[in-house]
Chain A
Amino acid sequence: MKKVQFKSNYSQYFFLAPQLLILLIFLYWPIIQTFKDAFTMQDAFGFGSQFAGFDNFLFIFSDPSYFTAFKFTIIYSFVITFITGSIGLLLAVQANKVMHGKSAYKTLLIWPYAIAPAVVGVMANYFFSERYGLLHHLFNNLWGFNWYENVFDAYIYVIIAGSWKQISANFIFFLAGLQAIQKTVIEASIIDCKSNIRRFWTITFPLLMPTTFFLIIINITYAFFDTFGIIDTTTIGAPGSETKTLVYKAYIDGFKGLDLGSAGAQSIMMMIIVLVITIFQFRYIEGKIHYN
C-alpha cells in the first residue's frame, strides 16, 4: 500500500484540537488532579492543602473499612462474573437452538442491557421493599430475610440487582460466540459423540474460551465500576459498610466525607488493580486461547 504523505502545515492540529481538548479536560486533567489529591492533605473546607507523601495510602491501608470494601468488591465481582456468565451462557445456548422467533428471543434478552444501573437499582428496590417487595417476601418466608442487619442477605440483594442487567451482555456475546463456531465442527462432533452434555463440555465450551475470558474481564470491570448506581440506589453500603464497593467507598469518602486525599489514594489503588487485571488478560490469556 502506498502511504500518502501530507505536508505539515499545522492544519492537522486544528482538526485534531476538539478531540484532544475533550481528552485533556475529561481524561488527563482528572488523572493529574487525582494524583495531586492522593499525595496531599486537604483542608476540609477547601482553604488549603499540603504535601503529605504516602500518608493517604498508609491511612487507607490501616483503615479496616477499606479492607471490608476490598473484600466485598472481590466477592461481588467473582459472584457477579460467575452468575452472569453461567446464566448468559445457558440462555445463549438455548436461544441458539431455537428455530422460530430467534430474533424475538434475542431482542427481549438484550433489552435489560440498555437500562441504566441506577434505574436497575430503583427497580430492585421495589422487589426488595419490606412492604411490597416480592423477593423480600419470598426470602423472608424462606429464612427470615433482613438485609438491613444481615450481611449475607444484603449481599444477595446487591448481587441480584447487579447481575440482572449484566446477564444480557453475557448472553449476547456468548450467542455471537456460538454462532461463530463452524457448523461443520459441531456436526463432526455429533457423529463422534452421542452425549449432548459431553459434546458441550469437550467441543462447544472450549471453542467459546476466547469469549469466556473476554466476558470475565468485562464482568469484573462491570462489578468494580459500573455497579456504583446500583449500590447507591439499593443498600447504600448497608449494613454498616459491608456492601460498599471500592468505587462507592472512594466516592463517599471523597464527596460525602470531604477527604479528597483518601479518595485520590483509593482511586490510584483501583487503577493499579485494573492495570494488573489488564496485563494478566493480555499476557496470559489472549495468547493462549486464540485458535486461528
Chain B
Amino acid sequence: MVYQRINSNRKIKMSFLELQNITKIYPNGTKAVNETSLNIDNGEFVVFVGPSGCGKSTLLRMIAGLEDITNGEISLDGNVINNIDPSERDVAMVFQNYALYPHMSVFNNMAYGLKNRGISKEEINNKVNDVAKLLEIDQLLTRKPSMLSGGQRQRVAMGRAIVRNPKIFLFDEPLSNLDAKLRNQMRLEIKRLQRQMGVTSIFVTHDQTEAMTLGDRIVVINNGVVEQVGTPKEIYSKPYTKFVAEFIGSPQMNLFNCKIENGIAHIADMRINLNNSANIDDASLGIRPDDILISDNGQHTCVANLVEYLGSDMIIYSKIGDQEFSCKLSSKINLNAGDTFKFDISNTLVHLFDNTNGSRV
C-alpha cells in the first residue's frame, strides 16, 4: 500500500506506540481490521478517521485492551502489550457517551482509577482537585453525573482520563453527543489540553472537520484498511486514494469519470490537458470545488443549475455532460441559478486516480 512507502522513508527509531500487522476478525468471521501497521511518536496527536463501521473504533479498542487482537503486535513505550490487562497498560479512554459511573460523585468518578491503584488518599485529593481546577469543574465535585449537563459530563470524562496521567489518551468519538457550538468549544479545549500536557493521544472520529483541526497526523481508514497516513495538509493536498479524496474536504471533491489519452482527459466534450503522457481507459479526475477557477475568460462554459448561498461563500451545482459537479466561490460574485458561467481547471490542481484500483496516478 501507499502508506507503507511513506512510513519506510521515516527515520528508523523506536516509536512510542507501534502497531504491527494488526488484524481483527470477529467470531462471526467479520474482518474489522486488516493487517494494519502504524507508528505513533511520543506526544503526537493522531486522529483515526473513516466512515462508521470502518474499523477505527475497533483499532482503538484493541490498543485499550477492550478487544482481543486476532493477529499482530501492539507495543507501547517499548513493551508488547498484547496480553497485558487493560488496567495495566497505562492508557486512559474517553468514551462517546462519557461512560461515567452513575452512582458515584464527580470526585469519586475521577478518583476511582487512582484508588484501585493503591494511591494514597492525600495524593488522590491533590490530583483530583488540580485536574478539576484545570477543567473548571471544581465546583461540581460533589455532584452525581445525572445532575450535570452534557458539556460538564464531557469534562468529567476528560478529567477521569487526565487525572491518571497515562502514557496515552484514547478518545472514542467523544464529541459526537454534544451540540454543534459545544462541540467546537470542546474541540479547541482538547487540542489546547493536549498541547499543554504533551500526552500522546489517539482520537477516533467520523467527522473530517474534527480530524483536520485536531490531528498532527491523520490516519484515514476504510473497510479495515489504512488508506493514508499524513499531516492534515498532506492528506488534503495529496490524497493517495480516491476514497481519501472523497472523504476529506467539504464540500466533497468533484470526481469526473474520464478517459485519458496521451495526457488529455476527456470528460464529455470537455478536454483538459494534464501535461503528462498518461493513457488510462477508466480514470477519475478530481478537483476540489474551491479549486475551480471562475473567470470571464475561462475556457469552459457551464450552466449553474442550483446555487446554494452560505453567507461568505456560495456553492454552484452544475453538470459536465451527465456528470454533476460543484464549485465553491465567494458570494460576492453575482451568479444566479440558470446563468451560464465560465471557468478553468488548472492541471496543477487536479488529482488523477486510476479507477481499477482507486489509487493516485
Instruction: State the B residues within 8 Å of A (CB).
Output: 27, 64-66, 85-88, 91-93, 95-97, 99-103, 112-113, 116, 144-146, 160
Contact = CB atoms under 8 A, between A and B. Distances in A.
Contacts of B86: 190-191
Interface string A258-292: 00000000000000000000000000000000011
Given A192-B116, A194-B85, A194-B87, A291 B144 contact: yes
Given A191-B86, A191-B91, A185 B116 contact: no
Interface stretch (A53-61, A138-146, A201-209): A201-209
B301 to A, nearest CB: 55
Nearest to A205: B103
A182 B145 CA distance: 14
Contacts of A189: 101, 112
B9 to A, nearest CB: 35
A99 interface: yes
B99 A187 contact: yes
Interface centre among B86, B96, B145 (most CB of A within 10 A): B86
A193 interface: yes
B27 A99 contact: yes
A62 interface: no
A188 B101 contact: yes
Given A291-B144, A292-B146, A191 B92 contact: yes
Given A182-B99, A206-B103, A207-B103, A187 B113 contact: no
Contacts of B113: 191-193
Nearest to B89: A191
B124 to A, nearest CB: 13
A209 B101 CA distance: 14
A187 to B, nearest CB: 5
A30 to B, nearest CB: 43
A184 interface: yes
B116 A195 contact: yes
Nearest to B172: A184
Contacts of A209: 103
Interface residues of A, number: 21
A244 B346 CA distance: 96
Contacts of A203: 101
Nearest to B92: A191
Contacts of B112: 189, 192-193, 202
B157 to A, nearest CB: 8
For the complex of A and B, the 6 pairs showing the least CB-CB separation, nearest first, are: A192-B113, A184-B99, A291-B102, A194-B87, A188-B99, A193-B116
B95 A291 contact: no
Contact of B100 (A185, A194, A198): A185
Nearest to A194: B87
Interface in A43-75: none
Contacts of A292: 102, 146
Nearest to B112: A192
Interface centre among A188, A198, A207 (most CB of B within 10 A): A188
Contacts of B97: 182, 184
A287 to B, nearest CB: 13
A198 B113 CA distance: 12
Given A291-B144, A291-B146, A185 B87 contact: no
Given A185-B99, A191-B64, A202-B112, 9 more contacts: A184-B96, A184-B97, A188-B95, A190-B65, A190-B87, A194-B85, A207-B102, A291-B146, A292-B146
A187 B66 contact: yes
Given A191-B113, A193-B116, A194-B88, A185 B96 contact: no
